[in-house]
């Protein structure tokens, strides 16, 4: 047992009410900073801004645009594009995209765009006219359009596929880069596409705004995934401890760790980006896992003390078990957490903003987890009523999963032992039903 952690835990137990009060104050303060958090969908967060290729690209985008290009493909399921209903759809999509406030009108091009010209030579020089001033309605007009497209090879593989079975509308957009959001833009584009799509004509979209729009849409679903992960962790913890106290203490620690990390990000002005949306689940899992180790050892120490001193006050035994538990597990949890914190914080030096933000968020989350595990868990556990006999008996009960994992661990240990000292791992597996609780070690 580590003497320092034992003395530290005794101090926390003695001052448990003040510790809980301080934790509540910090939680309230950091919780109020959550409103400062913003979701950052800027493409620049995914690339190193000092790289010469990135600098060149940004210069070209500033001069010519092309940062938010979406290509909408129109493809009939039968025949080529030279059909009135197909060409009419191209013209309508062109018109509706041009009228979007986010669109850069002169950078929206298709066969129906005014700037797309048919250029051909003649005896008098060059003849320039719109590629498709209006939608052709006769076979002759269709053939004329085909000739124009074939004559201007620049449009093949850009606005028309080589086999003439698909056409494209290429559109460039401008967003508010102080707070870029792709999902509203893509919602408008999808509405236009849905109106023009039917059983005979397929309409597709591609481009970074499409990807980021889907990404942003999925990001908005993260609270649901967080809730599902929370529920699964709660069920696993209840199965492990078979008590509401054993289930709730790790969950409280995990949730507060997430609130602290998010609040600290808001306080420091670090934005949430796509890479960070799953980090709360990571922090919650780490916090819950460490908390389970502490509580598991607490139950073991409490049961040991109750066996040694059956007539002592259960509340006093519970507080002693907290001190003994932290003396044993504190150094392990502390060392693991410090290593994780240092590892995550090293990412803050990355030139890729999303990686740096992830390192800051994850490192802050593990730091919050460490603080709460070393303060809130012993303080709360010492404040709560001691486990009842029924609760400790249920926690020690060995279930099917325990016996299976116990048999597997014996088998793996046997396989790793020197030759002749233990049977092979596979020979242990049929005996899983006979593994007793006393043969299993649950210490951290």
Q: Do 266 and 330 belong to one domain?
A: yes
Is residue 52 assigned to a domain?
Answer: no
Is residue 322 assigned to a domain?
Answer: yes
Query: Which helix H or strand E contains 327, and what residues bound it?
Result: helix 314-346
Is residue 60 assigned to a domain?
Answer: no
Q: Do 212 and 247 belong to one domain?
A: no
Q: Do 329 and 385 belong to one domain?
A: yes
Contacts of 156 (CB under 8 A, 6+ apart): 149, 150, 162
Q: Do 177 and 297 belong to one domain?
A: no
Report how far residue 299's alpha carbon sits from residue 38's, in angstroms, rounded to the nearest whole number.
42
pTM: 0.74
Report how far residue 421's alpha carbon sits from residue 415's, in angstroms, rounded to the nearest whole number.
9
Residue 438's pLDDT is 41
Q: Do 213 and 236 belong to one domain?
A: no
Q: Do 236 and 361 belong to one domain?
A: yes
Closest to 158 (Cα-Cα) out of 79, 97, 69, 98 = 69
Residue 49's pLDDT is 81
Residue 439's pLDDT is 42
Report how far residue 349's alpha carbon sits from residue 329's, in angstroms, rounded to the nearest whole number.
32
In the chain, the number of structural domains is 3
Q: Do 76 and 212 belong to one domain?
A: yes
Query: Which helix H or strand E contains 407, and what residues bound it?
Result: helix 400-416
| Helices 16-32 and 3-14: angle between axes, nearest 10 degrees | 80
Dihedral sign, CA of 354, 355, 358, 359?
negative
Q: Do 329 and 364 belong to one domain?
A: yes
Q: Which two tokens stand for residue 119?
A: 């250029």
Report how far residue 346's alpha carbon sits from residue 175's, in angstroms, rounded to the nearest whole number.
33
Is residue 188 assigned to a domain?
Answer: yes
Closest to 167 (Cα-Cα) out of 63, 275, 91 = 91
Domain containing 339: what range?
3-44+221-397
DSSP letter for 21, please. Answer: H
Report how far residue 64's alpha carbon sits from residue 66's, in angstroms, rounded to the nearest whole number.
7
Q: Do 160 and 94 belong to one domain?
A: yes
Using the 3D structure, point to which of 217, 251, 285 is the last residue of a domain.
217
Residue 443's pLDDT is 38
Q: How many CB atoms lie within 10 A of CB 84?
A: 13
Residue 119's pLDDT is 87
From first CA to last CA, the distance across the chain in angstroms is: 13
Q: Do 161 and 242 belong to one domain?
A: no
DSSP letter for 387, please. Answer: P
Contacts of 4 (CB under 8 A, 6+ apart): none
What is the domain-level CATH number for residue 388?
A: 1.20.1640.10
Report how far residue 209's alpha carbon sits from residue 181's, in angstroms, rounded to the nearest whole number.
9
Residue 378's pLDDT is 93
Using the 3D structure, point to which of 217, 246, 263 is the last residue of a domain.
217
Q: Do 254 and 110 belong to one domain?
A: no
Q: Do 18 and 71 belong to one domain?
A: no
pLDDT (tens place) for every residue of the chain, 444 residues total: 668 888 999 999 999 999 999 999 999 999 999 888 877 777 777 788 888 888 887 888 777 777 889 999 999 999 999 999 999 999 999 999 999 999 999 899 999 999 999 888 777 778 888 899 899 989 999 999 999 999 999 999 999 999 999 999 999 998 887 777 888 999 999 999 999 999 999 999 999 899 988 888 888 888 898 999 999 988 888 887 777 877 888 899 999 999 999 999 888 888 787 778 888 989 999 998 888 889 889 888 888 888 888 888 888 998 999 999 999 999 999 999 999 999 999 999 988 888 888 999 999 999 999 999 999 999 999 998 888 766 666 666 666 767 787 788 888 877 665 555 555 444 444 444 444 444 444 433
Is residue 55 assigned to a domain?
Answer: no
Is residue 58 assigned to a domain?
Answer: no
Is residue 26 assigned to a domain?
Answer: yes
User: Do the beta carbons of residue 346 and residue 320 sit within 8 Å?
Assistant: no
Using the 3D structure, point to which of 217, 249, 266 is the last residue of a domain.
217
Residue 415's pLDDT is 67
Is residue 88 assigned to a domain?
Answer: yes
Q: How many CB atoms lie within 10 A of CB 156?
A: 14
Report how far residue 94's alpha carbon sits from residue 100's, in angstroms, rounded to the nearest whole number.
10
């Amino acid at each position: 047992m580590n003497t320092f952690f034992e003395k530290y835990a005794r101090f926390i137990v003695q001052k448990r009410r003040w510790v809980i009060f301080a934790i509540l104050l910090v939680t309230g303060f950091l919780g109020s900073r959550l409103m400062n958090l913003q979701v950052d969908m800027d493409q620049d967060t995914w690339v190193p801004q000092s790289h010469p290729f990135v600098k060149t690209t940004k210069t070209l985008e500033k001069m010519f645009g092309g940062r938010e290009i979406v290509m909408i493909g129109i493809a009939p399921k039968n025949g080529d594009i030279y059909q009135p209903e197909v060409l009419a759809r191209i013209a309508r999509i062109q018109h509706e995209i041009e009228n979007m406030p986010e669109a850069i009108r002169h950078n929206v091009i298709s066969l129906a765009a005014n700037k797309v010209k048919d250029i051909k030579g003649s005896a008098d020089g060059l003849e320039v006219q719109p590629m498709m001033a209006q939608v052709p309605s006769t076979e002759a007009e269709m053939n004329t359009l085909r000739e124009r497209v074939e004559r201007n090879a620049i449009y093949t593989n850009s606005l028309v596929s080589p086999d003439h079975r698909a056409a494209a509308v290429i559109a460039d957009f401008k967003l508010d880069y102080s707070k870029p959001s792709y999902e509203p833009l893509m919602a408008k584009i999808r509405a236009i596409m849905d109106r023009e799509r039917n059983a005979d004509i397929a309409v597709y979209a591609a481009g970074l705004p499409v990807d980021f729009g889907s990404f942003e849409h999925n990001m908005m679903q993260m609270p649901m995934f967080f809730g599902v992960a929370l529920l699964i962790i709660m069920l696993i913890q209840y199965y492990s401890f078979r008590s509401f106290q054993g289930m709730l203490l790790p969950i409280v620690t995990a949730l507060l760790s997430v609130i602290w990390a998010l609040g600290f990000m808001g306080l420091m002005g670090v934005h949430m980006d796509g890479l960070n949306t799953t980090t709360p689940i990571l922090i919650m899992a780490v916090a819950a896992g460490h908390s389970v180790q502490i509580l598991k050892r607490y139950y073991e120490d409490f049961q040991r003390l109750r066996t040694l001193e059956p007539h002592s006050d259960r509340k006093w035994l519970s507080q002693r078990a907290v001190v003994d538990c932290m003396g044993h597990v504190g150094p392990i949890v502390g060392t693991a957490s410090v290593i994780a914190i240092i590892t995550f914080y090293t990412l803050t030096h990355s030139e890729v903003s999303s990686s740096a933000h992830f390192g800051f968020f994850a490192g802050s989350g593990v730091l919050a987890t460490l603080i709460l595990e070393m303060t809130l868990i012993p303080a709360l556990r010492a404040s709560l009523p001691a486990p009842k006999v029924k609760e400790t008996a249920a926690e020690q009960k060995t279930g099917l999963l325990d016996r299976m994992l116990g048999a597997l661990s014996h088998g793996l240990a046997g396989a790793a032992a020197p030759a002749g000292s233990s049977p092979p791992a596979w020979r242990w597996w049929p005996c899983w039903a006979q593994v007793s609780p006393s043969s299993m070690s649950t210490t951290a």
